[in-house]
Amino acid sequence: QKLLSLSLSLSLSIFLSLSSISISNSELTGMQTSSAISIGTCLKEHQKIYKEWFNIADSDGDGRVSGNDATKFFAMSKLSRQELKQVWAVADSKRQGYLGLAEFITAMKLVSLAQEGHEVTSDLLKGSVDMKSVELPVLEGLENVVSKQKSSKAYADVEDNVVSQLQVTAKAPYPWFKSKSIVKPQVNVVTIVDGLKRLYAEKLKPLEVAYRFNDFASPVLTNSDFDAKPMVMLLGQYSTGKTTFIKHLLGCEYPGAHIGPEPTTDRFVVAMSGPDERTIPGNTMAVQADMPFNGLTSFGGAFLSKFECSQMPHPVLDQITLVDTPGVLSGEKQRMQRSYDFTGVISWFASKSDMILLLFDPHKLDISDEFKRVISSLRGNEDKIRVVLNKADQVDTQQLMRVYGALMWSLGKVLNTPEVVRVYIGSFNDKPINEAVVGPIGKELFEKEQNDLLADLMDIPKKACDRKINEFVKRARAAKINAYIMSHLKKEMPAMMGKSKAQQRLMDNLQEEFGKVQQEYHLPAGDFPSVEHFKEVLGGYNIDKFEKLKPKMIQAVDDMLGHDIPDLLKKFRNPYD
């Protein structure tokens, strides 16, 4: 008992020593200001000048200032390379590898502040300086650049006019001869995401299609999957406060939200940015090309009827998309009542999410059978999981420590990872913390924990690009292993007689066949798919129809992982590194 008391006291002291970042909910609501200054914060006369400068810096006219463009234009400020490196890092906080107009204006204001003697940090954008009153930076030699550009533009206009007149007067002598050559449009790579799109279409997608990766693992990616905003999914048993958490985060109600002590959320609700407040049915969402939900059609109409989108204009939703899920109920009967593959849907959203929040109630720490299956479906996404012990102000400090210990013990049996998962303790709703129950120490703890969680959520947009690259590489490795498995099973099939018996034998010994593939190609066991899921899907296919191994396709993916992606990252890194 003494050891237990000592460990509980130690746990409490660890919690109290956490970061004391002071972040209010209103600051989270304005999270978009941390990366770029709104154009509206500039004086009108400055807006016009900044737009002219942006057009000058944008050498190829694609609406983006690349690293090479910036090094030439920013050099006129006469700041040191280290100062310009920090200017770029703060302005391009999302690591896009380029500056849009808003980011360019941010950079220009930072340059001006640096010229005045300020140290360039992200804190300058958080209110320590009145950004509206910042003067234009001094750029030596800008007048010469402007005059040269104007003269070259005038010459180009004259030249274009002459060429167009010649094209009108000169007619083809034999108009019936027409070229039949078709030129494929090239994807213009101006961002890391554009580069990933091109690599996927040229090198990874052919491998996925050839070996049916979309049927066994994940649907084929579309442009909307690459362009989607970062996603945060909330999971938990009923009445753990998932919907209330979203409402607290947004600071307002959102369309389709229902809150109550009983299981009120019986559907998947995606809260995302939109021009007005409205709800969109799941069937409509799944077929919209500009939405990243096309892959959900594979779960059928029964699921899509339980899926909807809640759109509203909100600064938080401009940066992240929130996914509210149905509360997980206990008992085998509840699992049988679901008319769709609940854990399959959770797994699909988990692969698309940047963060997964598991919410628990201090009075409901038992992990039901269905909840175990749900957590198991998160396999491969453990690094995204964060645990939230919500409604913690309903128990006193002593009970809270016991609850925390019981929660960690329960999670240890379900999450098969040696690392300790991060747990946030607090009461995430709009009500004041019940200090009469938790005391002043508990109140201080909850405030620090809430600040830490909000800080983590604020960092998601900044890490979104890194996450996309990470998920892309993980997908490429999974597609390679899928190809190795398919071709191995094909090779084990007889040429003539006994094919049905051979297929059944392979399915019965699938774990052993996985081991053979792992040993032959020296692959890590942790990268292989679930044997049960693979066997279930494999039952609907004729193994004899699978493709043999195509070394050129495998080599193309290896080249992509070994050379193309590193070159892409190098191209769009901080130009002053």
Q: Which of 220, 20, 258, 33 is nearest to 124 (CA)?
A: 33
> Same domain for 236 and 94?
no
Domain co-membership, 387 together with 485? no
Residue 106 contacts residue 91 (beta carbons within 8 Å): yes
My answer on whether 100 and 232 are in the same domain is no
- Give the gyration radius of the chain's Cα atoms: 28
Give the domain range for residue 418: 215-473
Is the domain of 360 the same as that of 499?
no
Give the end of a domain, one of 440, 473, 506: 473
Q: Count the domains in the chain.
A: 3
Reading the block at residue 384, the tokens are 């995204």
| Residue 408 and residue 367 share a domain | yes
CA distances from 520 to 296, 496, 516, 517 (A): 35, 25, 6, 5
Q: Are residues 412 and 371 part of one domain?
A: yes
Whether 20 maps to a domain, the answer reads: no
Please report the pLDDT score of residue 530 as a whole number: 87
Question: What is the C-alpha to C-alpha distance for residues 264 and 242, in angstroms, rounded to an integer?
Answer: 11
The answer to whether residues 460 and 560 belong to one domain is no
Query: Does residue 185 sit within a domain?
Result: no
**Within its chain, how far is the Cα of 157 from the centroid?**
44
Q: How far apart are CA 26 and CA 48, in angstroms?
A: 31
Asked if residue 154 is part of any domain, the answer here is: no
pTM of the predicted protein model: 0.71
What is residue 418's predicted lDDT score, i.e. its pLDDT? 67
Among candidate residues 101, 116, 142, the one where a domain is terminated: 142
Among 126, 142, 158, identify where a domain stops.
Answer: 142
How high is the pLDDT of residue 466?
Answer: 86
* CATH of residue 495: 1.10.268.20
**Long-range contacts formed by 127-134: CB under 8 A, 24+ apart:** 131/37, 131/41, 132/41, 132/42, 132/43, 134/109
Please indicate, yes or no, whether residues 322 and 204 belong to a single structural domain of this protein: no
The verdict on residue 527 lying in a domain is: yes
Q: CB 39: neighbour CB atoms within 10 A?
A: 13
In a domain, 314, yes or no: yes
How much is the pLDDT for 181?
42
Per-residue pLDDT of the chain (577 residues; tens, 9 = 90+): 444 444 444 444 444 443 333 344 444 444 444 445 555 567 778 888 888 888 888 888 888 888 888 888 999 999 998 889 889 888 888 777 888 888 888 888 899 888 988 888 877 777 667 777 788 898 888 888 777 766 655 545 545 554 455 444 444 444 433 444 444 444 456 688 889 999 999 999 999 999 999 888 888 898 888 989 999 999 988 888 888 889 888 888 887 776 555 555 578 999 999 888 899 999 999 988 888 998 899 899 999 999 999 999 998 998 899 999 998 876 554 545 678 888 889 999 998 999 999 999 888 777 778 888 888 888 888 889 999 988 888 887 788 888 888 888 888 777 776 677 888 988 888 787 777 766 777 778 888 888 898 888 888 888 888 889 999 999 999 999 999 999 999 999 998 888 889 989 999 999 999 999 999 999 998 889 888 889 888 888 899 889 999 999 999 999 999 999 999 888 887 676 6
**Residue 311: helix, strand or coil by DSSP?**
strand
28 belongs to a structural domain: no
Dist. CA 552–CA 87, nearest whole Å: 44
Kindly state the tokens that stand for 315.
Answer: 């600064």
Return the pLDDT at 160: 53
Q: Is 325 exposed, middle or buried (0-12, 13-18, 19+ CB in 10 A)?
A: buried
> What pLDDT score was predicted for residue 146?
77
Give the per-residue pLDDT at 310. 92
The HSE-up count of residue 394 (CA atoms within 13 Å, CB side) is 14
Looking at the domain assignment, is residue 169 inside a domain?
no
- 287 and 340: one domain? yes
User: How many residues are given for the chain?
Assistant: 577
User: Is the same domain home to 341 and 484?
Assistant: no
